[in-house]
Amino acid sequence: MTVSQALDSSNTITLGGTSSAGVGSGNIIISTPGTALAATVSDFGNGESITLTGLAYQASDVVDVVSNGGNVFLILTDRGEVPVEDLQIGDHVITAGEAVRPIRWLGRRSYNGRFIQGRRDVLPVRIRQGALDGVLPKRDLLVSPLHAMFIDGVLVPAGRLVNGVSIVQEQHVETVSYVHIELDTHDVVFAEGAASESYVEDNNRSMFHNAHTYTGKGAAKVKARGRKRNGVAVARYCARRVVDGMLLDNIRQTLMEQVVSQLMAEPEKDSA
């Protein structure tokens, strides 16, 4: 998050209550020596600004909020949509097959932007609001480039969907964090309303900063259902994974047609 205002070195600013829109449904607390101001905001969009007045050091300062992580979005659970960073092992998510399934493990990894500069395999892909069908995702969705979206009955890594318009890969980030949801078996869950894969073991668990926490009953159940080839874990996907070919070309073309359709509709909205 970026605060775009001049501050005295004695001032302290704390931003809290994150949601898929950056800062939302929580409190922005700005405290100074002897004074404090709290403002509650709802669905405060990335890049938008809010004016806070009554500050002792300067009235009407503007706070600019920018999401800087790939894990700030809502996941559909049996208790409604929950920020992915608030999920816990044992929580239940709703799958594309309308099943209610428990989370067995949550993989977490974070990177400082300067260390992943130019890393197309790590830099987040931004799927803009409505990029998939004109409506979904409900808000901009940032995912890792290898994370697959479920489109037309197949899984397509986000990096393969980049078109430079409605789906883009971020070139510069200050930091980025990813949270991966693992169920008993690979499945499709909903992130900002869009069908998105859960984590699947593909001999890559060591990439997570918390890989050492993969223990206990939940892990045992996942391991029991996994496959191995020559002692190496082999991914078992819930659907066909597409990374090239005519089917991918058709999906990409459909997404671009969606972009054109939206652009053509904008003048109509303006004239109305």
pLDDT at 262: 82
**In the chain, alpha helices (H):** 216-224, 246-271
d(CA 169, CA 167): 7
**87 close to 106: Cβ distance less than 8 angstroms:** yes
Q: Nearest to residue 180, comparing CAs of 154, 200, 165, 153?
A: 200
CATH topology of domain 74-260: Endonuclease - Pi-scei; Chain A, domain 1 (2.170.16)
**Has residue 43 got a pLDDT over 70?**
no
Q: What is the pLDDT of residues 83-135, one digit of tens each?
A: 998 999 999 999 999 999 999 999 999 999 999 999 999 999 999 999 999 99
Mean pLDDT, residues 156-165 taken together: 98
CA angle 195, 181, 139 (to 5 degrees): 45
pLDDT band at 261 (very low <50, low <70, confident <90, very high): confident
Span 30-55, average pLDDT: 41
The residues, any chain, with a CB within 8 Å of residue 209's CB and separated by 6 or more, are 108, 109, 110
**What pLDDT, on the 0 to 100 scale, is given for residue 31?**
35
DSSP letter for each residue of 68-79 = --TT-SEEEEBT
Higher pLDDT, 193 or 25: 193
Is residue 74 within 8 Å of 192, Cβ to Cβ?
yes
Quote the longest CA-to-CA distance of the chain. 67
Cα(166)–Cα(253) distance, integer angstroms: 12
Q: Residues 67, 51: contact at Cβ < 8 Å? A: no
Task: Give the pLDDT of residue 267.
Answer: 67
Residue-level pLDDT at 32: 35
Residue (of 152, 155, 159, 162) closest to 131 by Cα position: 162
DSSP code string of 101-113:
EE--EEEEEEEEG
The tokens of 80 are what? 């409604």
> Is the preceding omega at residue 102 within 30 degrees of 0, hence cis?
no
Residues forming a β-bridge with 250 = none
What are phi and psi for residue 268, nearest 5 degrees? -65, -40
In the DSSP assignment, the letter for residue 52 is E
Q: Which residues pair with residue 52 across a beta bridge?
A: 61
- Please list, residue by residue across 175-212, b when 16 or more beta carbons sit within 10 angstroms of its beta carbon and e when fewer do: ebbbbbbbbebbbbbbbbbbbbbbbbbeeebeebeeee
* Predicted confidence (pLDDT) per residue in 200-255, tens digit: 988 899 999 999 999 755 555 555 455 555 665 678 999 999 999 999 999 999 99
Mean pLDDT of 189-207: 95
pLDDT for position 104: 96
Average pLDDT over the chain reads 77
How confident is the model at residue 166, as a pLDDT?
96
Instruction: Measure Cα distances from 87 to 69, 104, 146, 150, 195 in Å.
Output: 16, 11, 21, 21, 18
- The answer to whether residue 160 scores a pLDDT higher than 90 is yes
Question: In Å, how far from its chain's centre is CA 104?
Answer: 19
pLDDT, residue 26, reads 34
Q: Where in the chain is the domain with CATH 2.170.16.10?
A: 74-260
